[in-house]
Homo-oligomer: A and B are copies of this chain.
Amino acid sequence: MVPSGAAGVNEARDRFRADLLEAGLLIPTGVDGLYGGSERYESVVRALDDLIDRVGADQRARMIRFPPVMPWANFVANGYLESFPDQMGSVHGFGGDQRQHAELVRRAEHGEDRGPLLRATDMVLRPAACHPLYPTMRGVLPEEGCRVNVSGTCFRHEPSTDPFRMQVFRMHEYVYLGTPERARDHRDEWLRRGIDTLGRLDLPVESVVANDPFFGRPGRMLAANQRDEELKFEIVTPVYASEPPTAIASANCHLDHFGRPFGIETARGDVAHSSCFGFGLDRIALALFNRHGTDPNAWPAAARSVLWP
């Protein structure tokens, strides 16, 4: 008898994970949610990254790439520490002398806590591709606002054996900064483009109202508010038979969440609003492998021609 409920879900996850490892697509590192990618896996991620550049080519967005580490000060100023402290990857260094170094090595070799011997730096791993962008946009925007194409590696501290929940993953986003109306239009336009693009990859998708996993009790109110105002949508696709579908992209209205702390103004002199649409590159790649099998050469021709035109 096939177990139902939670056990059934875990079985489907474990089977998919085993398939990925057996096919050599992901290389386990010994840390949950942290994998190397094979040439085949990475070729799909790169094809997706390039596809998303093509899908937005008509928008003449400014393209910028930021590293996976961002300034701590901006992480605090944009409210991430306040809302999602449990997901952070704070970067700490060593500034001690030889004696402290010897103690650090001793602790490491005995599996003891290294924390007290290290010092927090002015950096943190970025949780979203667009977060390093906003502080660099300080000032007055042009009349039509500003569109930006960002892509890169992100970190969220949520160890899991579900391949869809990686701790380090790639995200490709289109961001808009400008008036509230145009920010919402950008979000809605990209939600349409996202559904269309993912559908052309032969993934069954739909958009649903969603919320971010805000921390603690006050977080529940923030999440409820986010849903009520329909600020966040996710594009989801079914991946495990007995489980709700999984988010592979998301569309977000930020209101003035980034414009206010970083002093970004519209041409009219108001605080800028912003919005973004993010494609989860690893999640889309995994959804493709999950639906179409572990060999991209055997994927549906139509989906292949979208990825490798």
Partner among B31, B73, B93 whose Cβ is within 8 Å of the Cβ of A89: B93
Contact indicator B86/A89 (Cβ below 8 Å): no
Contact indicator A98/B216 (Cβ below 8 Å): yes
- In the complex, what residue of chain B is closest to A61 when comparing beta carbons? B39
B-contact bits for A82-110, CB 8 A (1 contact / 0 none): 10011011111111101001001100110
A68 to chain B, nearest CB (A): 5
A113 to chain B, nearest CB (A): 6
Q: Bound complex: CA of A28 vs CA of B66, how far in Å?
A: 10
Contact indicator B153/A67 (Cβ below 8 Å): yes
A253 to chain B, nearest CB (A): 24
A65 to chain B, nearest CB (A): 5
Q: A266 in the interface, Cβ–Cβ < 8 Å? A: no
Interface centre among A69, A70, A82, A119 (most CB of B within 10 A): A69
Contact indicator A85/B94 (Cβ below 8 Å): yes
Chain B residues with CB under 8 Å of A157's CB are 91, 93, 121
Q: Which chain A residues numbered 112 to 135 have a C-beta less than 8 Å away from chain B? A: 113-116, 118-123, 125, 132-133, 135
Chain B residues with CB under 8 Å of A199's CB are none
Identical chains bound together, number = 2
Chain B residues with CB under 8 Å of A35's CB are 67
A275 to chain B, nearest CB (A): 20
Contact indicator B39/A123 (Cβ below 8 Å): no
- In the complex, what residue of chain B is closest to A136 when comparing beta carbons? B27
- In the complex, what residue of chain B is closest to A82 when comparing beta carbons? B105
Partner among B31, B90, B136, B215 whose Cβ is within 8 Å of the Cβ of A93: B90
Q: A76 in the interface, Cβ–Cβ < 8 Å? A: yes
Chain B residues with CB under 8 Å of A215's CB are 101
Contact indicator B71/A34 (Cβ below 8 Å): yes
Q: Bound complex: CA of A159 vs CA of B97, how far in Å?
A: 18
Contact indicator A69/B34 (Cβ below 8 Å): yes
Contact indicator A68/B68 (Cβ below 8 Å): yes
Contact indicator B69/A81 (Cβ below 8 Å): no
New contact pairs (19) apart from A36-B65, A76-B109, CB-CB < 8 Å: A27-B66, A29-B66, A29-B70, A29-B132, A36-B64, A36-B133, A36-B136, A38-B63, A39-B64, A42-B65, A67-B153, A67-B168, A72-B108, A76-B108, A88-B94, A90-B94, A101-B216, A115-B116, A123-B167
Could you list 15 examples of A-B contacts with CB < 8 Å?
A29-B66, A29-B132, A29-B136, A30-B74, A34-B67, A36-B136, A37-B65, A39-B63, A76-B105, A81-B105, A85-B96, A89-B91, A92-B118, A101-B215, A153-B153
